[in-house]
Chain A
Amino acid sequence: MSRLVGLRTHWLAALGVALAGVGFALHSPVGVAAALGLALAAAFAPAPFGVVFGVVAFTALFEPALAVRQLLVGCGLLALLLDSAPSMRTATGRLAVATAAIATAALAGGYSVASSTGTPSWLAAVAVGSTIALLLYAVHRYETVTLGLINR
């Protein structure tokens, strides 16, 4: 699915790819190649896969150092993901994005706190992954109950 076809409808995704591309390009000639790769992934694959490509490239090129250009890449990838999030124009979309954002932020914070307090990182990762899975299942059950789809 193309994220960049129709810049008017996917302006946020285009902005995200542009930001991330600038960040990559400022790093090195290899970063230019990463920017091109990101543009292609964003154009021809669903949003999560463009983000995956970007995150992997980001990690390979920048970690552990931190700089403005890294911030650009991170913001760009976030924008790319947000473009395919539920529409913020509707009440249900805003509620969904807000709920998911709060949950994700809480999990990221928890992961960060766990890492800083010496908790094994694998344990923190398992906790984060399990919590996301639990949330997804809870929403599924909520739907099943509210729509009366339980077969007794």
Chain B
Amino acid sequence: MRATRRFWVSAGTAASLIALGVALARPSLAVGGLAIGGWLLANQIAFVLDTQRLLADVTITHEVTPKQTVESQPVRLRTTVTTPEGPEPLQRVSVDAPPGTTAESATTSRATGPETVVDAILRPTVTGQYTIAPPTLSLGDGHGLFEQTLRRGQETTLRVDPNAPRNVHVGTGGQRFAAGFGDHDALKGSSGIDPGELRQYLPGDPRDRIDWKATARRGEPHVREFEASTDRQTLLFVDHSASTGQGRPGHRRLDYLREVAVWLLDRARDASDPVGLVTVGDDGITGRFPPATGTEHYRRLELALFDLEPTGQSTAITSGRERSQLRATAARLDDDSAFATTLKPYLERATTYVDRVGSAALFSAVDATLGATRGDPWTVLLTDDDDRSQLLETAKYVRRHGGYCSTFVTPGALFDSPGLQAAEATYDDYLAFETFRQQLAGLQSAEAYEVAPDETIRTVLRQRPEARR
């Protein structure tokens, strides 16, 4: 219980009256002070008893719906406080938005009747498991002398998953492909310079292979194997043109392509392979990272991948902060001078292009990049199937260039709004895509995979005639 300012003023007045009564030898003043002291006591006792009665009778429900959501999707936190014998001394009910969420509606409600409802909309911005504290009941007496805040009810939990593809299907003809894609260990025996495992000396092993230190330690002749290491240069071409924005937020084609690209990057990092990245928008190359190794380089590629947004919607390589700075600068160029007129269009553009090539951006990007790259890198194209002829030509070009080409394609049919009624039509579209994919995979030194939401491809494949039977 907290005594308010009004309580202290009243108590001070009562004490002053008693003191004055003594000082002036006027008992009536002291009696007046005593009466006010008694009045305060009566109100305090009544407040305590009312609080106990209220807490004995109150019913509290405190629920969040849905209990599981994804990042940035709002949830409803509904708290109902029912006081059958009236709300007094309950004044307000409030709920707390846990850290990592933002409240988009009022989190406090005044108690005016037997039922007080707080209907709060929370938007989680951070992934994780949230514990939402019980609601806070604010109590007070009718004269504003005493206050009390209490937490009552049960805490509730909310699970927030990342707003990103969780179950990515990568495969061919509806079949997931096995793990191991991209492996290229060269454990070919004893050639090479990288030290490998120790093993016992066997007749026929050259004497100069004997590891004398190991032999001395173990008491028996041992030889050390040496492994050859290969560094396969990998070039990732990630298409983030406007068409890759198809799909619901967090589950767009680009989000799936990004998942695959990050996975490929991880595998290359594990093998310490040099990796390059070229990001391609509608009008050309938006970012170019020549093949290299090293933690910093891999990290830079990863950040570039995470920053990608479909062109036409947001900047690709330019970071959000830089974009806002550019726009702020553009806004300041509000005069009609030649300087402002010339500069403004460049600053206002959401996307910055390293190399603008116009139509057939992916082909041109591959052409320009492979032409400037030594050796025969493993070329990985991550794109959609909206321009199939361009994609086919690009894969053929890679083959002509002498490199190995892997293509990961997000079929448009599997990113339209899902619906069981449309599944049959989607299956027909998927069949057409599969024909195209097989054509692509049929090229020499080429392979092609579909990338799609796993649940969608399962739904579509249920429309197969054999599955229906």
Interface size class of B (residues with CB under 8 A): 35 or more
Chain B residue numbers with a CB within 8 Å of A58 are: 28, 32
Chain A residue numbers with a CB within 8 Å of B37 are: 104, 107, 128-129, 132
Q: How far is the CA of A86 from the CA of B53 in the complex (A)?
A: 15
Chain B residue numbers with a CB within 8 Å of A95 are: 45-46, 49
- A48-B10, A136-B44 given as contacts; is B28 within 8 A of A81 (CB)? no
A104 CB to closest chain B CB (Å) equals: 3
Residue interface bits B30-62, CB-to-A below 8 A is 1, else 0: 111111111111111110111111010000000
Contact, CB under 8 Å: A139 / B34: no
Chain B residue numbers with a CB within 8 Å of A8 are: none
A83 CB to closest chain B CB (Å) equals: 10
With an 8 Å Cβ cutoff, the count of chain A residues facing the other chain is 51
Chain B residue numbers with a CB within 8 Å of A124 are: 22
Q: How far is the CA of A102 from the CA of B1 in the complex (A)?
A: 23
Residue of A81, A104, A135, A140 ringed by the most chain B CB atoms within 10 A: A104
A74 CB to closest chain B CB (Å) equals: 8
- A92-B46, A147-B52 given as contacts; is B28 within 8 A of A100 (CB)? no
Q: How far is the CA of A93 from the CA of B28 in the complex (A)?
A: 27
Question: Which residue of A55, A121, A122, A139 is within 8 Å of B32 (Cβ)?
Answer: A55
Chain A residue numbers with a CB within 8 Å of B29 are: 55-56, 59
B15 at the binding interface (Cβ < 8 Å) = yes
Contact, CB under 8 Å: B41 / A146: no
Residue interface bits B312-335, CB-to-A below 8 A is 1, else 0: 000000000000000000000000
Chain B residue numbers with a CB within 8 Å of A93 are: 46
Q: Interface residues of A: mostly helix, strand, loop or mixed? A: helix
Chain B residue numbers with a CB within 8 Å of A63 are: 26-28
Which residues in chain A, 123-152, are within 8 Å of chain B measured between CB atoms?
124-125, 128-129, 132, 135-136, 139-140, 142-144, 146-147, 149
- A92-B49, A125-B21 given as contacts; is B42 within 8 A of A101 (CB)? yes
A35 CB to closest chain B CB (Å) equals: 17
Chain B residue numbers with a CB within 8 Å of A111 are: 30, 34
Contact, CB under 8 Å: A125 / B30: yes
Q: How far is the CA of A59 from the CA of B26 in the complex (A)?
A: 7
Contact, CB under 8 Å: A84 / B143: yes
Q: How far is the CA of A81 from the CA of B32 in the complex (A)?
A: 10
Chain A residue numbers with a CB within 8 Å of B15 are: 129
Question: Which residue of A46, A104, A143 is within 8 Å of B48 (Cβ)?
Answer: A143
Chain A residue numbers with a CB within 8 Å of B458 are: none
Q: How far is the CA of A140 from the CA of B44 in the complex (A)?
A: 8
Nearest-neighbor residue (CB-CB) of B149 within chain A: A149
Residue interface bits A80-91, CB-to-B below 8 A is 1, else 0: 010011100000
Nearest-neighbor residue (CB-CB) of A64 within chain B: B26
Q: Which residues of B contact A (CB under 8 A)?
A: 1, 6, 10-11, 13-15, 17-19, 21-22, 24-46, 48-53, 55, 143, 148, 150
12 residue pairs of the A-B complex, CB under 8 angstroms, read A52-B32, A55-B33, A56-B29, A56-B32, A58-B32, A84-B143, A85-B43, A108-B34, A125-B18, A125-B19, A142-B48, A146-B48
